[in-house]
Structure 1
Amino acid sequence: MVDSQNAEDSIACFSPGLAGIPVAESAVSYVDGKKGYLEYRGIDIEQLAEKSSFEESSYLLLYGELPTAKELKAFDEKLKHHRRIKFRIRDMMKCFPESAHPMDSLQATVAALGMFYPFPTNLEGELDKETIDSVCVNLISKMPTLVAAHARMRHGDDPIAPRDDLSHAANFYYMLTGDEPYPLTERILDVAFIVHAEHEMNASTFSALVTASTHADPYTSISAAIGALSGPLHGGANEDVLHMLDEIGSVDNVEDYFNRKLAKREKFAGLGHRVYKTKDPRATLLQKLYVELTEKVGVDTTYEIARQIEKLSRSTLGAKGVCPNVDFYSGIVYRKMGIPTDLFTPIFAIARVSGWLAHWKEQLGQGRIYRPSQIYTGKYGQSYVPVEER
């Protein structure tokens, strides 16, 4: 009989979902969940949201330092130059069903990019900087084009070619709608990109690193991250928040809805986070952006419902560390800008690719595949029984 002592001894080390177990060392970002604090490379996210741009924040994540004016200009020019996608990628999208979720389209097309931009398969040696930089630029610059192209083609419209005279945020909005955004809309979308760009070892980042540790090409690794982000417990939660708010329908219905959910011990979309035990700083920033936007176009019922839910949650769930996370207000902001609900998570991915790539770069050259163990809970020492005796 197989000795089960080792399995029994290891049960004490078991942590569902790897909660609290470090799986890597990283200098990319830092989160203090108790204080509700987030830094990129040591710089507070609030400072970046106020003073930086997505392009500059991406450079910071990728290279570890804020760029000089010359470095930022060169990086921005590279991003603009590589926005266009191959016509065969567009042809592939035309074959997708109209009902395909934009995240499924994005995952498939990002994986397909790897066939057009082959990456070295032997990673035992050190990769040259030019190869690494080209991958990062290619993915950051092309993902908005992939999302916007699919969003238009699924409705029978031609994709709109990117423009080199617009910022990353403004160009995405233009490719999506055909209109240049107002300065406030551009700024709001840019800040949304910044606050979604990185968040240490989350499920999608870990998925990218697990895939990359096998020496899979980076396009495959980022495709794996997109798959993880699509889940409703990760990036897909922003869609669920709006579904919840629409279901409630009116501020007058909030208290009854909240109490019923609370009595049944059901989860509230957009409330709670595995790391934060106070209000997510990104939620605070997005809420401020929404308020700034409503000064121009007015407040709607959806936001008032959300505020009432947050108010009721403070005295009940807040004491347990269940507070609004980044998804609670992001969807409300995007809807106010006229962006369809099923594009909320792809926008998350457009931003988060910078963080994924920063971690991918950090892991390069380590040469150690992720191979965790498990706790076996099955039987031992069983004998095979011939089929005629079963």
Structure 2
Amino acid sequence: MSMPISGPNQATNATTASAPKNKGGLEGIVAATTAISKVEGNTGRLIYRGYNIHDLARTTIFEEVVHLLWFGHLPSQQELTNLQQRFAAERTIPENVMVALRALPTSTEPMDALRTAVSAWGAVAIKGQPTVDQAIALTARFPLFLAAFNRLRHGQEPLESKPELGHAANYLYLLTGEVPSEEHVQGLNAYLVLLADHGMNASTFTARIVASTESDIASSIVAAIGALKGPLHGGAPSKVQDMLHEIGTPENADSWIRDAITTGKKLMGFGHRVYKTTDPRAEELREMARVADPQGFVFTRRVEELAISILEELKPGRRLYTNVEYYSAALMASVGLSGDLFTPTFAVSRVGGWTAHVLEQAGNNRLIRPEAEYTGSTDLAFKPLNER
């Protein structure tokens, strides 16, 4: 069964002569048009197809949000039920993927295992141009791939999914073998909603570039996973946890933060390329962390308050505030995830947005082919090999 895509699909190049001068990292360059999400950096707002992220995080589940991203509207009860049934039907791991996962050393990073599994699955399951059916199949399988590898590396056999469980609950079950508490399911669901899309970030742009070549959806998503893995994009949540462990106590926080800033050490979980105020996703995650781990929250919040104050003191005018990664670490730890599963779980969420952008790109495609400002020599005199 094929599901149609609704909503505008417009993607264009920005290579006109009037385009702003490159500041590095394509800052200020408009590379596409999209109807999927909007990031308002100065006011700290994130919009998914017209809906404020605060409303979605508090009232929807992940399956509703990916329906919104793919089809352009929130689902009716029947549409949601249909999508959940589609997800449950796709919860299988082909034998070639299991062979690949079993062959990986137990020391393999889960993000690398996820990339490998998606590539192996795509090699046998994906043909032709991107479709929403393929997006559903990919998104449904991300938790399976991760949970299967996580159990294998700990000497356990992968589990069969429970069709009666939703996306977030089934992921936690596949990891632990226990049906999760409602509190943990709600926390993970909210996290998945909050991270599902975020404008033209590095991994989404990567996915759209690959899609613009008319490659397949699996190749686009494998490339996006590679981009998300980097610590300057999605690879930082576990490093927030490491930083908090290194700080150790509230009494040590002030001196540790000051020393880190003055010596050029990066404060993990602070600052964002777009937001010039608190990341709205961090606001939601902060409240969830407060409920999930009241005792640990006191320390985490104290470090946050000190860091923002000291950053303004030592780097005035830079407007460096808490980003989504800071409280992501606390929330994911509270639902029982190990640190090296934080970024792959980010991918479990973001694959919804990646696939929506791939579909949008394919729907009105033009090859993304920007120019580069050349800074090398142009008139060197050539010498044959025997004269060099």
TM-score by length of 2: 0.91
Cα distance between partner residues in 2 of 1:214 and 1:162: 35
Cα distance between partner residues in 1 of 2:257 and 2:126: 51
* CA deviation map 1:282-317 (0-9, x unaligned): 1111111111123xxx513xx444322221233342
| Range with greater deviation from structure 2 (318-327 or 304-313) | 304-313
* CA deviation map 1:85-132 (0-9, x unaligned): 112211110111111111111111111111221321xx5xxxxxxx71
Alignment partner, residue 356 of structure 1: 354
| Range with greater deviation from structure 2 (99-108 or 374-383) | 374-383
Cα distance between partner residues in 2 of 1:12 and 1:344: 36
Alignment partner, residue 5 of structure 1: none
Alignment partner, residue 18 of structure 1: 26
Alignment partner, residue 339 of structure 2: 341
Cα distance between partner residues in 2 of 1:86 and 1:231: 28
Cα distance between partner residues in 2 of 1:291 and 1:74: 35
Alignment partner, residue 313 of structure 1: 307
Deviation at 1:10, TM superposition (A): 10
1:11·1:375 contact (CA, 8 Å) conserved in 2? no
Alignment partner, residue 107 of structure 2: 99
Residue correspondences, number: 368
Deviation at 1:388, TM superposition (A): 3.4
Inter-CA distance 239–72: structure 2 relative to 1 (3 Å threshold): same
* CA deviation map 1:148-193 (0-9, x unaligned): 0011101111011111010100000000001111111110010010
2:269·2:326 contact (CA, 8 Å) conserved in 1? yes
Partner SS state of residue 302, structure 2: helix
Partner SS state of residue 372, structure 1: coil
Partner SS state of residue 149, structure 1: helix
1:53·1:194 contact (CA, 8 Å) conserved in 2? yes
Alignment partner, residue 224 of structure 1: 223
Deviation at 1:351, TM superposition (A): 0.3
Partner SS state of residue 119, structure 1: coil
* CA deviation map 1:325-361 (0-9, x unaligned): 0000101111122211000001000000111111111
Instruction: Show the 5 A alignment for 1:190-205.
Output: 190-205=189-204
- Counterpart amino acid of 1:37? R
Alignment partner, residue 174 of structure 2: 175
- Counterpart amino acid of 1:346? P
Deviation at 1:265, TM superposition (A): 3.6
Q: 2:323 aligns with which of 305, 319, 325?
A: 325
Deviation at 1:56, TM superposition (A): 0.4
* CA deviation map 1:15-56 (0-9, x unaligned): 200011110000101111111111111111111111111000
Alignment partner, residue 5 of structure 2: none
Cα distance between partner residues in 2 of 1:388 and 1:362: 54
Alignment partner, residue 376 of structure 1: 374
1:254·1:305 contact (CA, 8 Å) conserved in 2? no
2:279·2:321 contact (CA, 8 Å) conserved in 1? yes
Inter-CA distance 227–97: structure 2 relative to 1 (3 Å threshold): same
Q: Does 1:114 align with 2:127?
A: no
2:285·2:331 contact (CA, 8 Å) conserved in 1? yes
Inter-CA distance 42–385: structure 2 relative to 1 (3 Å threshold): same
Show structure 1 runs of 4+ deviating over 6 A: 9-12
Cα distance between partner residues in 2 of 1:387 and 1:40: 58
Instruction: Show the 5 A alignment for 1:45-124.
Output: 45-120=53-128
Identity %: 39
| Range with greater deviation from structure 2 (224-233 or 78-87) | 78-87
1:208·1:360 contact (CA, 8 Å) conserved in 2? yes
Partner SS state of residue 46, structure 2: strand
| Range with greater deviation from structure 2 (367-376 or 102-111) | 367-376
Q: 1:299 aligns with which of 295, 300, 304?
A: 295
2:308·2:322 contact (CA, 8 Å) conserved in 1? no
Cα distance between partner residues in 1 of 2:264 and 2:144: 41
Partner SS state of residue 131, structure 2: helix
Q: 1:37 aligns with which of 37, 42, 45?
A: 45
Listed as ranges, the gaps of 5+ residues in structure 2 are 1-16
Cα distance between partner residues in 2 of 1:154 and 1:204: 27
Alignment partner, residue 186 of structure 1: 185
Alignment partner, residue 6 of structure 2: none
1:38·1:45 contact (CA, 8 Å) conserved in 2? yes
Inter-CA distance 12–87: structure 2 relative to 1 (3 Å threshold): closer
| Range with greater deviation from structure 2 (202-211 or 80-89) | 80-89
Cα distance between partner residues in 2 of 1:266 and 1:70: 51
Partner SS state of residue 38, structure 2: strand
- Counterpart amino acid of 1:312? L
- Counterpart amino acid of 1:317? L
Cα distance between partner residues in 1 of 2:355 and 2:119: 15
Cα distance between partner residues in 2 of 1:219 and 1:173: 24
- Counterpart amino acid of 2:232? L
| Range with greater deviation from structure 2 (263-272 or 43-52) | 263-272
